């Protein structure tokens, strides 16, 4: 079994344990990683021989949830999820926020403001994937000799030390060594977005516009399904069987978004989970 498949199984196992309330407190500060673990001896022919080892590598429940969310949306144009989707999986939002802050400080993940989203909706992406985003921009720029490739290199090096969602023009000039032309180049390649405040920029993910278009299309399609029903609700197992027509995002990914953002609610019933439209989602 390849490592990516093992990691996916391990992630799903841990997330299931988390949701069932049968998991130890997450090791936010890395204390457990300092302990000496005995080597795992097992038959190398067993596909599941190192599941426990893969579980050990997961830093926290919040990061486990983020990883699973990204995996559950394989058709996405970028490997990302929204922070509020994690809230729909893990009930303790204070713990989630703390674990996310640790991930940001450790430079494992970054968060981004996205156009087309509410003010409290942020995109979450692994720093390694964001680095690849910058590298892709550089590769595209190589096709045109008018672009300065060193701009991407400097941007990538300096951004590693920042975990904010915005940056000022002065900092880009003084710390990153950029000029007006360099900043315009980063904007044109989708790595910076002009802020509503003068001389301020959002850090941006290339392709986030397409991501949000597909997400919004999926949101609208599910909400329309619910609004057409007299009770404005549907059993989740029935909803998961429906085929999306307006987006290629997975139904599961979209439900985590709708629940986490408060547009729908998930209620447990003897027949299974019920998805109920809320006022925020457009319930009359």
The domain that holds 263 is classified in CATH as 1.10.10
* Residues 80, 138 within the same domain: no
pLDDT bracket for residue 255 (50, 70, 90) = very high
Mean pLDDT within 54-59: 43
* Residues 156, 214 within the same domain: no
Evaluate whether residue 118 is within a structural domain. Answer: no
* Residues 182, 159 within the same domain: yes
Domain end point (choices 155, 182, 203): 203
* Residues 67, 91 within the same domain: yes
Distance between CA 214 and CA 255 in Å, rounded? 14
Provide the number of structural domains found in the chain.
3
Task: Supply the range of the domain harboring residue 151.
Answer: 126-203
* Residues 156, 188 within the same domain: yes
* Residues 156, 140 within the same domain: yes
The number of beta carbons lying within 10 Å of the beta carbon of residue 183 is 21
Evaluate whether residue 121 is within a structural domain. Answer: no
Looking at the predicted structure, is the pLDDT value of residue 230 above 80?
Answer: yes
* Residues 235, 180 within the same domain: no
Domain end point (choices 156, 183, 203): 203
Looking at the predicted structure, is the pLDDT value of residue 67 above 90?
Answer: yes
Quick one: what percent of the chain has pLDDT higher than 70? 79
Better-scored residue on pLDDT, 158 or 4 = 158
Evaluate whether residue 252 is within a structural domain. Answer: yes
* Residues 178, 245 within the same domain: no
Q: To the nearest whole number, what is the mean pLDDT of the chain? A: 85
Mean pLDDT within 140-156: 96
* Residues 152, 226 within the same domain: no
* Residues 36, 66 within the same domain: yes
Better-scored residue on pLDDT, 18 or 207 = 207
Domain end point (choices 77, 106, 135): 106
Residue 50 burial by CB count (10 A; 0-12/13-18/19+): exposed, middle or buried?
middle
pLDDT the model gives residue 125:
97
Evaluate whether residue 32 is within a structural domain. Answer: yes
pTM: 0.79
Instruction: Using alpha carbons, list the distances in angstroms from residue 215 to 23, 40, 203, 244.
Output: 31, 42, 20, 12
Looking at the predicted structure, is the pLDDT value of residue 43 above 80?
Answer: no
* Residues 230, 174 within the same domain: no
Q: At 235, phi and psi to the nearest 5? A: -65, 135
Better-scored residue on pLDDT, 14 or 140 = 140
């Amino acid at each position: 079994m390849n490592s990516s498949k093992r990691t996916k199984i391990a992630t799903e196992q841990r997330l299931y344990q988390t949701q069932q309330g049968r998991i130890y407190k997450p090791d936010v500060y890395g204390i457990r990683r300092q302990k000496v673990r005995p080597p795992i001896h097992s038959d190398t022919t067993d596909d599941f021989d190192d599941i426990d080892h893969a579980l050990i590598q997961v830093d926290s429940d919040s990061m486990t949830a983020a990883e699973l969310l990204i995996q559950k949306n394989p058709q996405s144009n970028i490997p990302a999820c929204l922070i509020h989707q994690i809230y729909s999986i893990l009930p303790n939002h204070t713990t989630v926020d703390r674990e996310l802050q640790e991930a940001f400080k450790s430079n494992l993940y970054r968060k981004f403001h996205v156009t087309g989203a509410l003010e409290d909706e942020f995109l979450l992406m692994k720093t390694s994937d964001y680095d690849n985003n910058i590298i892709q921009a550089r590769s595209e720029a190589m096709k045109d000799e008018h672009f300065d490739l060193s701009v991407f290199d400097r941007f990538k090096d300096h951004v590693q030390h920042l975990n904010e969602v915005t940056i000022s023009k002065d900092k880009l000039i003084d710390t990153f060594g950029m000029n007006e032309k360099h900043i315009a180049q980063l904007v044109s390649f989708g790595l910076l977005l002009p802020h509503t405040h003068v001389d301020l920029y959002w850090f941006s993910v290339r392709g986030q516009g397409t991501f949000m278009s597909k997400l919004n299309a999926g949101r609208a399609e599910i909400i329309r399904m619910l609004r057409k029903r007299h009770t404005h609700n549907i059993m989740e197992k029935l909803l998961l069987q429906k085929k999306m027509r307006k987006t290629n995002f997975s139904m599961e990914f979209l439900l985590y978004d709708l629940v986490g953002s408060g547009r729908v609610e998930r209620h447990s019933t003897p027949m299974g989970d019920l998805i109920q439209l809320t006022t925020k989602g457009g319930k009359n």
